[in-house]
Structure 1
Amino acid sequence: MLVGTFDPFGNLAISALIAAVPILLFLLCLTLFKMKGIHAALLNLFITFLIAFFIFKLPLGDASGSIIQGLIQGIWPIGYIIIMAVWLYKIAVKSGKFDILRGNIVEISQDQRIQLLLIGFCFNAFLEGAAGFGVPIAICAVLLVSLGFQPLQAAMLCLIANGAAGAFGAIGIPVGIIDTFNLGHDVTSMNVSVISALTLPIINFTIPFLLVWLIDGFKGIKEILPAIFVVSTTYTAAQALITIFVGPQLADIIPSLLAMGILALFLKKWQPKHIFLLSGKSAEVEKHSTSEVVKSWSPFYLLTLFVLIWSLPAFKGLFAEGGALEFSIVQFIIPGSSISVNIDILGSTGTAILLAGLTTIATTSRIHFRESLGLLKKTVAEFWVPIVMISAIIGIAKLMTYGGLTVALGEAVATAGNVFPILSPILGWIGVFMTGSVVNNNTLFAPIQVTAGNIIGTNPSLLVAANTAGGVIAKLISPQSIAIATAAVGETGKEAALTKMTIKYSFGLLAFVCIWTYVLSFFF
């Protein structure tokens, strides 16, 4: 916060109401007014600038610096990561690996409800755990479209499925980052990880059922109940055990691989009597050797390998102060402001994905480097509008943070006293809706949750876990997530339609987390 006070009116309720304008206006623009995402983002950026500058008295230099910082971070690392992920997918398609991979999925089962469980849920969670930052939504939505799902339908399903994995994305960073805050009161990433097992497993277990219901109703659930049960039970139990006994780092990766593997083995012995096909036509199954199948998945093996290396503490230490690669981090203060910018050129997850792409090209004879450059150019052309939108959204989040709007909202909610636990997840929901990131959400609101918990006598770790869970649910309709999803399936400009498709599920899950957190607060 770079302002003198977060309560410019001397009345917290009024200040918080004004601070909420960007959030409420964004929702109205995407739902009631049905504006394109880029237009809604730019309009809200302008309105937020006016509120921060004229009402909350954020200095002009810092207000402008907030927008510049948002622009830079929207391009690097977020835009960089998204472009590299989609480029890797296009390389897999051009090299022919994707056709074999898709055939392998169809060979496991032609039933598209089961394909949704394999790709939309399991593989989505795996990529969230390995990379995060929109990678799973971008890749899995395109995979589903290639299997016959409608573009916006595929995007919606991937957004909802991501609700089972977002809390532990990118090697558990959203929860792991808590240790860097030094919050005290025994609030550690491990304690938050453990207590999250009281809430997240309930959501995780139900999401596969919800996904199948969305495409084939209760009839579909009944027909493939054994397969749904295998996925839900395996993923939920494995993640709960890992979060309780190991911690957040592998809480997406291992459960998703287990669920995918066990489901594939189960389907060798069991298949639904009725094969559900969205188009009414079955896909041709082309047999491939084991070595061909293994090679077809290699872009994603490489993606995981490089991202895991980039996440190792020893590797990260190379970029720390005094590290061998410290020189690769560009640092500067935005002129006219007090806001700094760090551009991590080599340490970015996007660079790990870039290496996965280059390695795939080098080890594949069916695609040449010149062709891959053409694919990269095409990817940039497809995604520049969504990246501008994401940059504008981050600019809004920065204005709200530096201008004290976020603190005003948090402090207003924290005055609720013993009722605060029912509102605690809403703070997390707001944080992710505005920033698109559970990491940023916990950075913004975890300290407020801890302070409120100590005041009202509720376990602070419970409230931080609620903050995380509420944030994950907001990813279903976060403008940043919506922008990535629509762009990935070639439907840029239809952000309002996709938001309308997912918003009721976000609100429904949020209501559950709010009520459940309030119930748990009586025991902690």
Structure 2
Amino acid sequence: MLNLIISVIPILLLIWMMTKRNALPSHIALPITALLVGLLQLFYFGSDGQTLAANIFAGALSALTPISIIAGAILLNRTIALSGAETVIRQWLETISRNPVAQLMIIGWAFAFMIEGASGFGTPAAIAAPILVGLGFPPLQVAMLALVMNSVPVSFGAVGTPTWFGFGNLGLSEAELLVTGQHSALLHALAAFIIPVLALRFVVTWQQIRRNLLFVQLSVLSCTIPYYLLAQWNYEFPALIGGAIGMGVSILLARSRIGLDNAPDTAREEQCKRLPAGTVFKAIAPTLLLIGILIITRIQQLGIKAMLNDASPLLHLDLGILGQLSISKALIIKLGGIFATDTSWAYKTLYVPALIPFLLVVLISIPLLGMSRTVVKQAFVETGSRLKMPFIALVGALIMVKLMMMGGEHSPIMTTGKAFADLTGTSWQYFAAYLGALGAFFSGSATVSNLTFGAIQQSIAHTVDLPQTTILALQSVGGAMGNMVCINNIIAVSTILGISNREGYIIKRTVVPMMLYGIIAAVGSTLL
């Protein structure tokens, strides 16, 4: 019991610091929590000092992945904004519909759904949220909407990575993995009737939602029906193809004003329609190019994904006590044996969506959009100015995660998970999703949550005689819904939108739909 109390103290402290009345910003609260966990590992859990130092170093290096993605997303956003393309995109989107609910569903729901299916890595919020802010929606509310909306497709994000890779070490047969995906899709589809509505409430009133509820549900179903049907035979493409179909259908519904309450504004629409087609295409070309590159580089069958993940050795250096540095043909940088321990770190230079596609698209867009040298410099300067505090916060977060996972079966995170299971027994299916959410809250990834807790969930299912595919589906759903309160995601979207020191405020509000999501998943699991 004492181990459990000690394990949860840092979690409770972090939540308190970030949600109290005079909340501490994440770049202060997270390093403090990481320091506390380090002290507990050293003086209570008796961890070896060298191993502790290695994990701190690896955790700090791990921040390079999310911060590079954030930097790429901000740079692209500033490029589109400063070039004037954002204004053209806003005017074009208004020709589809000036109804705010329609705009939020098309961009915040269907478009983000498709991007999640192609890439994951937090790119849906990075791409969709700035577009919504450009349409005139307030940044803080858009951040919360983006976090909550980007939950349903996550179990099949990045071409199914949380499912096929997240559960890849559990010894599941292909049939069992497929059934797990089918169950996940059903639970997500049930939650989708409620969750997007709650997300919309962050930005618009209940009256606006009620007057446009038919459109909202049709837009939801246009994504989730193909999503669920595709999951019956494949766990890679449900979110990608479901989102693409849903976006097309949502645009058609909005153009036809099906389910929307707004009357035509002919004068305004005629003014918008005078935009030349070439001007519109040029403005949206960077976004289209981004989507195209994401899809091409994430679909296994095209072969480019394998090239970008080629681990064949190219260079190897012995850095002494620091570790063994290796660089692969795909420029995967790996540091193994850090401080003579089994701790390692890796960065997939070409696969992490920082250089490809973000920086690549920016470099192509500069001449395409006719940007001057002064404007280009401004875009880079503004990007750099936004990264300092998020970098500190992410270093703190990832060191904390590394230290919480130290100790294998006896680590603080595992101790907490097992305590949940012991407490609930055969009723575990009603709580399983929350363990998945806890994993995503800390790690910033549904895939890492599945990797971390998949084995525990499988073991609990066998111990209390519950179907393992159902419990693993709940774990997958939990990892997805945990995106709403995930520290890394909150820092990322806040940074991209220029929001400062509101992480605790965001968590307090997004935790409500996350808790409801878990209830819907638990009730839905009884159908399985």
Q: Look up the match of 1:4.
A: none
1:59 aligns with 2:66: no
Report deviation, 1:44: 0.7
1:82 aligns with 2:81: no
State the Cα RMSD in Å: 2.6
Q: TM-score, normalised by structure 1?
A: 0.89
Contact kept? 2:180, 2:473, Cα under 8 Å? yes
1:490 aligns with 2:498: yes
Q: How does 1:205-354 map to 2 (within 5 A)?
A: 205-247=193-235, 249-270=236-257, 272-274=260-262, 285=272, 287-313=274-300, 314-318=303-307, 319-322=309-312, 326=329, 328-332=331-335, 333-353=337-357, 354=359
Q: Look up the match of 1:7.
A: none
1:183 aligns with 2:171: yes
The alignment partner of 1:163 has SS state of coil
Aligned with residue 95 of structure 2, among 102, 107, 115: 107
Change (3 A) 1:23 1:405: same
CA distance in 2, matches of 1:89, 1:169: 22
Q: Deviations over 1:384-435 (max 9, x none)?
A: 2112212211111111112311221222223342122122112101101111
AA partner of residue 111 (structure 1): N
1:412 aligns with 2:423: no
Contact kept? 1:96, 1:366, Cα under 8 Å? no
Report deviation, 1:212: 3.7
1:42 aligns with 2:31: yes
Q: Deviations over 1:435-493 (max 9, x none)?
A: 11101100100011111111222111211111111122221112212211222221121
Aligned with residue 451 of structure 1, among 444, 452, 459: 459
Q: Look up the match of 2:516.
A: 508
Change (3 A) 1:176 1:222: same
1:460 aligns with 2:468: yes
Report deviation, 1:291: 3.2
Q: Deviations over 1:131-190 (max 9, x none)?
A: 222222233222222222122111111111112222222222111214531434767542
* Corresponding pairs, count: 502
Q: Deviations over 1:184-230 (max 9, x none)?
A: 47675423211212311011232333334444444223322332132
1:137 aligns with 2:137: no
Change (3 A) 1:293 1:500: same
AA partner of residue 442 (structure 1): N
Q: Deviations over 1:326-345 (max 9, x none)?
A: 36222223225431122222
Report deviation, 1:242: 1.4
The alignment partner of 1:110 has SS state of coil
Change (3 A) 1:369 1:402: farther
CA distance in 1, matches of 2:462, 2:18: 37
CA distance in 2, matches of 1:439, 1:41: 22
CA distance in 2, matches of 1:37, 1:283: 46
Moved more, 103-112 or 203-212: 203-212
CA distance in 2, matches of 1:173, 1:58: 32
Q: Look up the match of 2:116.
A: 128
1:15 aligns with 2:15: no
Contact kept? 1:117, 1:231, Cα under 8 Å? yes
CA distance in 2, matches of 1:25, 1:482: 18
Change (3 A) 1:198 1:226: closer
Structure 1: where are the runs of 5+ without partners?
A: 1-12
The alignment partner of 1:338 has SS state of coil
Report deviation, 1:241: 0.9
CA distance in 2, matches of 1:111, 1:283: 16
The alignment partner of 1:331 has SS state of strand
Report deviation, 1:312: 4.0
Moved more, 204-213 or 440-449: 204-213
The alignment partner of 1:342 has SS state of strand
1:372 aligns with 2:340: no
CA distance in 2, matches of 1:282, 1:157: 27
Q: Look up the match of 2:317.
A: none
Change (3 A) 1:447 1:38: same
Structure 2: where are the runs of 5+ without partners?
A: 315-327
Change (3 A) 1:331 1:225: closer
Change (3 A) 1:66 1:213: same
AA partner of residue 360 (structure 1): S
The alignment partner of 2:334 has SS state of strand
Report deviation, 1:93: 2.0
Contact kept? 1:67, 1:392, Cα under 8 Å? no
CA distance in 1, matches of 2:369, 2:202: 41
Q: Look up the match of 1:398.
A: 402
Contact kept? 1:317, 1:323, Cα under 8 Å? no
Q: Look up the match of 2:387.
A: 383
Q: Look up the match of 1:356.
A: 361
Contact kept? 1:70, 1:391, Cα under 8 Å? yes
Report deviation, 1:232: 1.4
CA distance in 2, matches of 1:370, 1:347: 30
CA distance in 2, matches of 1:176, 1:25: 34
Change (3 A) 1:187 1:40: farther
Contact kept? 1:22, 1:47, Cα under 8 Å? yes
Contact kept? 1:482, 1:498, Cα under 8 Å? yes
The alignment partner of 1:343 has SS state of strand
Aligned with residue 83 of structure 2, among 95, 98, 105: 95
Report deviation, 1:127: 2.2
CA distance in 2, matches of 1:173, 1:346: 17
Q: Look up the match of 1:168.
A: 156
Q: TM-score, normalised by structure 2?
A: 0.88
